[in-house]
Structure 1
Amino acid sequence: MNFDELKDFLDEKVLQYNTLDFIESDPVQIPHLFTQKEDIEIAGFLSATIAWGNRKMIIKNSHRIIELMGNTPYDFVMSHNETDLERLETFVHRTFNGQDFIGFIQSLQNIYKNHGGLEAVFSKNQEVNSMQKSISEFKKIFFEIPHLARTQKHISDPLNNSAAKRINMYLRWMCRQDNKGVDLGIWKSISPALLSCPLDVHSGKVARKLGLLERKQNDGKALFELDSKLREFDPKDPVKYDFALFGLGVFEGF
């Protein structure tokens, strides 16, 4: 396929998969449970954090996270006591355990009390066509309070050549205004033009088959390569093609 044919093909797949039907089988359904901004962004952040592995298990455990927080994420983050935190110790999703969960709650409280909230932190350090420095600086702030060393692995640093798939997916949810009701688009301080594709095994395989990606590892360098191509198709909303690549990989076995 030439450039125009490939763009038309991908645009068609975006329209096919960027619909409300996508929500029921995706962890984006978790932030959709809420209406208050802080609830949406905290629920989204925690569910995106555990978004690796079996999708049904991700969704099940994301609902469990919300239940353990009394279905009021922001209030729990800001007003929890020691007994509340003890309740979280039983949680496990793959390598993310109860101690990691507790650490995340404490770090989120610090961000809302002392840094103006998640949007305020992520909106700093924006660069041309990139949120990678912002993500790296976010990680520093997130772990500025005392924490377990093991918990740091659950937030990727793009400046260490990570594709940071889960945070890029989270930023898509929060920043992209798709008018289809999937991505929530509640953060207005970050342009969708700066977002990166959540590169994983599925989107990576499809991107390589379509000639959008040559690098074999799904790392930071591969993400830069893929982003550069997707911005040629739509510089204002490049990450919309995540729906096409993911849909082709997961639902069509492309």
Structure 2
Amino acid sequence: MLHLSFSPARPPSVLMLLLSLATPLSFADTAVVETAQGATMTYEYEGDSLRLTPDRDNPQNYTILRDGTLFSVSETNGEPTVINVSQAMALLGAAVQQAAPGAANARVESLTKTGRKETVANIEGEVYDITFVDFDGKTQRAQMVLSKDPRAVRFRDAVFTFATVVTESMGQEIDQEQLQSQLIAENLGVLRYGDDLSVAVIQEDTINPQRFELPAPPIDMSNLGGLQNMLKGSSDNSDMSKAFDKLLGN
């Protein structure tokens, strides 16, 4: 299954790794994405900066992308904790790749129009059938709603920028033959993936620059030995997930 989101406490999903090249951003927008379970993720982006709040009920926990670096922010008893996620991923190296084996190798086989139109978040798009091979080597099929609307394209670029930093921080190479190259070539943005994820709203906005500022200096990342050993010494995904949760202060 493809996904459009990235939870900073866990390895990036397949679609986020597929959407891994960006064109420069020049507008400020706020986009809200809804899952089939009713959860929401809020993206605020301007230039090459982005703020992702995975849960609107816990706005004190969020991720900031600025200056090409990813930071996780959490708050306990009113005290913020900031972690340089890009640095952590680079230090963990191969252990991070073990936690998301082969995800970057997912390959799109076809992306074709169905001839149907669909309006998502008050933006008209076209329905496409997508066939891809997932990281387990299995062929998967789904439908996506894509649009040339500038709002959808800017959201695509924000997601691409985010995914690029995540992928490169993990030490993985970006495959130019994956979905992102087709979307960029056709100037298409993603509005919906299957029944799992859908853009609820994209609001052209003016974002206070303070939204992209860190509330505290990042903590010292030199104490990663225990987490690295935990990841290397376990093939259990639940243990890996716990290690990422601990790394990101959750």
TM range, smaller chain: under 0.3
Task: Determine which structure has the larger strand proportion and give its number.
Answer: 2
- TM-score, structure 1 normalization: 0.25
User: Which of the pair has the greater relative contact order for Cα pairs under 8 Å at 6+ separation?
Assistant: 2
Task: Name the one with the larger helix percent.
Answer: 1
State the TM-score, normalizing by the size of structure 2: 0.25
